[in-house]
Amino acid sequence: MAENRVTFGSKLGVILATVGCAVGLGSVWRFPYMLGTNGGAAFLLVYILFTIFLGLPVMITEFFVGRHSRSNTVGSFKKLAPGTRWSWIGYNGILAAFLILSYYSVVSGWTLEYVWQTLNGSLYGSGAADYTEGFEAFSSDPFRPIFWTAVFIGLTHFVIVSGVDKGIERASKVMMPLLFLILVVMCVRSVTLPDAEAGLVYLFKPDLSKLTSSVVLSALGQAFFTLSLGMGCLITYASYFSKDTNMQATAWQVTLINTFVAVLAGVMIFPAVFSFGIEPSAGAELVFITLPNVFEQLPLSFLWSLIFYILLAMAALTSTISLHEVATAYVLEEFHLSRRKAAWIVSIGVFLLGIVSSLSFGVLKEWTIGGLTFFEAVDYLTAKIMLPLGGMLTCIFVGTRIDKKVLKAELTNQGTVKFYLFSTYVFFMKYVAPAAIGIVFLNELGVLDFLFKGTR
Ligand code: TRP
């Protein structure tokens, strides 16, 4: 089995595919939305700290597990620790992939609607208030968003059944650099709007009094979400790496590119938010109600808008592919089904859940779980609980069950490439990451508060 597993074609292919997996709506849509609902720059600061000090070590650890075992998320733990419950990390991951894909496809569907509205000319010419109203009318519609969700899952499904190397690699190679370029253009337009400065201050000047436990948890969730960590996505990808992929370098590249894209997205969104008097804490709709205003201020707005939403949809697609692949690879290898059958099972299941997520912007708006709509609740459960938990357990697994020599041999490609600061990495993976994630959890639950008040 292991011998005939497909691998990514080239060095660039590895990076592009992994960047494609990481960069998506998480940076462009979720990051501004989270930053806006968590008080601004303080969130950015914590998010960047978590990315470097927790995200990076967790990413390298997942790369290790994936390439060392050459197996899917569940299979890898079964292979490395047969007969133990460690494979539950994998099950947590499969479930998370499935849940994330369901609401992620809904938002991806929104990008298709915006492609469509740009094409038929109905999007532009109204102004901030109307863009909000227009979005709300669309997202609360019982049919349209579900139609686009179905289209999007269909696209993902098509790439998945057409094969790993061809599908994923080809898609990533063309689109990612282009998206990057257009983000830069949008940033320039946004920061030259009247009163853009307020947005930059909001984004970059931290007000530490805003740092609450829920801001910290949100930043942790965001770091894991945008880097695709904690659910075995990167385990599955790394299982397709070749034996001479430099995993430390790849992890750095993916992390830096991804963080850079998120910051660009912030620079694109917040100056415009303040310039047009939009509420930064508008929530999931923030990016969708802000951007049309910026496009309207560009010459040839139609063209920019069209290209942008197509590219955003593509960036989302390279991420949904990765999520779908995790679930499909599992179903296929564990139940010995054909790729086609496995993919159908995943697609249909995801669509059914996606319907509920989509309806939670309309007819199911009032149906809340702990104050969160279904969409928000699934997002909360996955990003803020399942992913950090999965990452924490993966680190504990590798830290306690894997011989350092084996770890080092794998990470240095049997001594052929250098792994810088190996013992620092081990320290962060084994102690810092699990402890920090544990502390954030306890803090959110109010346990720390309780303890400290008790001793005062
Ligand atoms: N990281 C992607 C984004 O930012 C989404 C994503 C893809 C993801 N695969 C994942 C999130 C695995 C968590 C886990 O858009």
- For the stretch 118-130, pLDDT in tens is 999 888 877 778 8
| Of residues 426, 308, 402, the one with CA closest to residue 77 | 402
- For the stretch 151-167, pLDDT in tens is 999 999 988 888 655 65
Look at residue 2 in the predicted model and tell me its pLDDT: 42
Residue 233 CB-half CA count within 13 A? 30
Q: Is the pLDDT of residue 355 over 70?
A: yes
Q: Name the band, by pLDDT with cuts 50, 70 and 90, for residue 3.
A: very low
| Of residues 87, 64, 29, 117, the one with CA closest to residue 316 | 29
User: Which atom in ligand 1 lies closest to the alpha carbon of residue 383?
Assistant: 13
- For the stretch 46-97, pLDDT in tens is 999 999 999 999 999 999 999 999 988 998 999 999 999 999 999 999 999 9
Cα angle at 355 between 351 and 357, to 5 degrees? 110
Check if 22 has its Cβ closer than 6 Å to any atom of ligand 1.
Answer: yes
Check if 21 has its Cβ closer than 6 Å to any atom of ligand 1.
Answer: yes
To test the pocket of ligand 1, the residue of 23, 51, 228, 259 to mutate (highest count of ligand atoms within 8 Å of its CB) is 228
Which residue shows structure tokens 């296929």?
A: 332
Is residue 125 within 8 A of residue 357, CB to CB? The reply is no
Distance, CA of 217 to CA of 381 (rounded, Å):
12
Is residue 76 within 8 A of residue 333, CB to CB? The reply is no
User: Which atom in ligand 1 lies closest to the alpha carbon of residue 258?
Assistant: 4
Strand, coil or helix: 372: strand
In 29-79, where do the E strands start and end? none
Q: Estimate to the nearest angstrom the gap between the alpha carbon of 63 and the chain centroid.
A: 17
Cα-flanking dihedrals φ and ψ of residue 367, to 5°? Answer: -85, 95
SS in 3 state form for 255-292?
Answer: HHHHHHHHHHHHHHHHHHHHHCCCCCCCCCCHHHHHHH
Cα-flanking dihedrals φ and ψ of residue 316, to 5°? Answer: -65, -40
Percent of the chain with pLDDT over 90: 79
Look at residue 213 in the predicted model and tell me its pLDDT: 93
Q: Is the pLDDT of residue 398 over 50?
A: yes
Distance, CA of 30 to CA of 44 (rounded, Å):
13
Pair of tokens at residue 292: 């049309």
Distance, CA of 403 to CA of 35 (rounded, Å):
40
Is residue 123 within 8 A of residue 305, CB to CB? The reply is yes
Look at residue 169 in the predicted model and tell me its pLDDT: 66
Query: What is the mean predicted confidence (pLDDT) over 186-199?
Result: 96
CA dihedral for 293, 296, 297, 301, sign (positive or negative): positive
Neighbours of 368 (CB within 10 A): 13
Q: Is the pLDDT of residue 194 over 80?
A: yes
State in Å: Cα 45 to ligand 1 middle: 21
User: Looking at ligand 1, which residue's alpha carbon is closest to its atom 9?
Assistant: 228
Look at residue 14 in the predicted model and tell me its pLDDT: 79
Q: Is the pLDDT of residue 339 over 50?
A: yes
Which residue shows structure tokens 């962060």?
A: 428
Check if 411 has its Cβ closer than 6 Å to any atom of ligand 1.
Answer: no
State in Å: Cα 319 to ligand 1 middle: 6
Query: What is the mean predicted confidence (pLDDT) over 229-247?
Result: 92
User: Looking at ligand 1, which residue's alpha carbon is closest to its atom 10?
Assistant: 228
Is residue 412 within 8 A of residue 37, CB to CB? The reply is no
| Of residues 4, 25, 137, the one with CA closest to residue 383 | 25
Query: What is the mean predicted confidence (pLDDT) over 162-187?
Result: 77
Look at residue 209 in the predicted model and tell me its pLDDT: 94
Look at residue 1 in the predicted model and tell me its pLDDT: 40
Query: What is the mean predicted confidence (pLDDT) over 303-321?
Result: 92
User: Which atom in ligand 1 lies closest to the alpha carbon of residue 320?
Assistant: 7
Query: What is the mean predicted confidence (pLDDT) over 440-446?
Result: 89
Distance, CA of 93 to CA of 90 (rounded, Å):
5
State in Å: Cα 195 to ligand 1 middle: 33
Q: Is the pLDDT of residue 379 over 50?
A: yes
Q: Is the pLDDT of residue 349 over 90?
A: yes
User: Which atom in ligand 1 lies closest to the alpha carbon of residue 27?
Assistant: 4
- For the stretch 27-58, pLDDT in tens is 999 999 999 999 999 999 999 999 999 999 99
- For the stretch 290-301, pLDDT in tens is 999 999 999 999
Q: Which of 4-13, 312-321, 372-381 has the lowest mean pLDDT?
A: 4-13
Neighbours of 403 (CB within 10 A): 8
Look at residue 4 in the predicted model and tell me its pLDDT: 56
Distance, CA of 300 to CA of 308 (rounded, Å):
12
pTM score: 0.95
| Of residues 228, 231, 238, the one with CA closest to residue 74 | 231
Q: Is the pLDDT of residue 8 over 80?
A: no
Residue predicted with more confidence, 206 or 5: 206
User: Which atom in ligand 1 lies closest to the alpha carbon of residue 322?
Assistant: 9
Q: Name the band, by pLDDT with cuts 50, 70 and 90, for residue 409.
A: very high
Is residue 39 within 8 A of residue 281, CB to CB? The reply is no
